[in-house]
Amino acid sequence: MIRNCAVSPSSLLGAAIARLYARLRTKPGLSACIQLCRQYVQNAYVPMRSSSLLISRVIEAVCRDVRNIFQRHTDLIEPLSLDEAYLDVTENKTGLPTATLVARTIREQIRQELNLTASAGVAPNKFLAKLASDWRKPDGLFVIQPEDVDAFLLPLPVGRLPGVGKVTQEKLAKLRIQTVGELRGMELSVLERGFGRYGVRLYELARGIDDSEVIPNRPPQSISVEDTFEKDVLLPETEPMIRRLTEKLWSASRKEPRIARTVVLKLKTSEFKILTRSHAPDSPPSSCEELTDIALKLRERVELGSQQRFRLIGVGLSNFREPEETRAQPALFD
């Protein structure tokens, strides 16, 4: 992420956090490179294992170039996934006066040097920057000034808050809470009774509070990749994107010494409703092909009607374990 929220023009040194989301452009970015690799593989009859290695190296090279651009501005970089990161630019290396200028400069450098697009969110903290970075994907910059937090946050549906899934939304709906503004009206004691420790988090998020720091080199709790379609598509039309995303995800997972036990599929409808499907196989995926197969089977569990369209899709790995923890254990029950 980028640390240093969008500081107001009059405050040059205020703490700021921004989340940069680097989305790879169709041409001539990463997707085009992968397509060229596939064509080369087919024409030269390269074995499947070698083709996967070739594509992985292309992905790694592009992501390394993006990270090098980040490092020109700060060493405080917290990766979120293969193509997302928080950057702390409170005291950036280039001496730019605001996080907004840093984000704008990084986006331009990515465009000029790598011919890729990047969306960026700039806000007073990580939580708000995450929301901001999603606001103008795949190629935009959205800034939430400190004085504009309430105007931006309060009208949002509670489903936009991190951790608020289907079950939590249903519980909030029973309390007649649909928006963040309505959530803010709830007493802390009521939220704690209904949601336990997460009730405190809900209370803080409704007020735009997030004191978490940008932590470089933090072991990821999950690895994920996602992309937004140029136009909303039907569910059967998502397969090519799922295959591209699993290739990127598999490449990223090879750098992680721990083993992921859970595969997650994420979809966002044209109405901005987010849904996820997950599966923890008995044995972790051992190849990109196995990972792709699981992701496609998770898609079969999405039942929203044949005419439902989707604007975003993502694939992730979570529930990481140390290798020794994944060894087969004897069954405890027959």
Tell the residue number behind the tokens 């700039």, with chain if given. Answer: 122
Measured between alpha carbons, how far is 110 from 127 in angstroms, rounded to an integer?
Answer: 24
Strand partners, 119: 21
Nearest Cα neighbor of 118 from 94, 149, 142 is 142
Number of other residues whose CB lies within 10 A of the CB of residue 15: 15
Strand partners, 6: none
Interacting residues of 303 by C-beta distance below 8 A, sequence separation 6+: none
84 is catalytic: yes
3-state secondary structure 125-193: CHHHHHHHHHHCCCCCEEECCHHHHHHHHCCCEHHHCCCCCHHHHHHHHHCCCCEHHHHHCCCHHHHHH
Which residue out of 78, 84, 226, 247 is catalytically annotated? 84
Measured between alpha carbons, how far is 87 from 74 in angstroms, rounded to an integer?
Answer: 7
Residue 183 vs residues 95, 158, 211, 212, 320: alpha-carbon distances, Å: 39, 8, 20, 21, 33
Measured between alpha carbons, how far is 238 from 229 in angstroms, rounded to an integer?
Answer: 9
Q: Which helix (H) or strand (E) holds 222?
A: strand 222-234
HSE of 254, CA atoms in CB hemisphere, 13 A: 15
Reduce the DSSP state of residue 64 to 3 states and report it: helix
Query: Which tokens is 307 given?
Result: 């005419």
Report which DSSP code applies to 316.
Answer: E
Measured between alpha carbons, how far is 125 from 216 in angstroms, rounded to an integer?
Answer: 16
Whether a cis peptide bond, with omega within 30° of 0, leads into 138 is: yes
Active site residues: 84
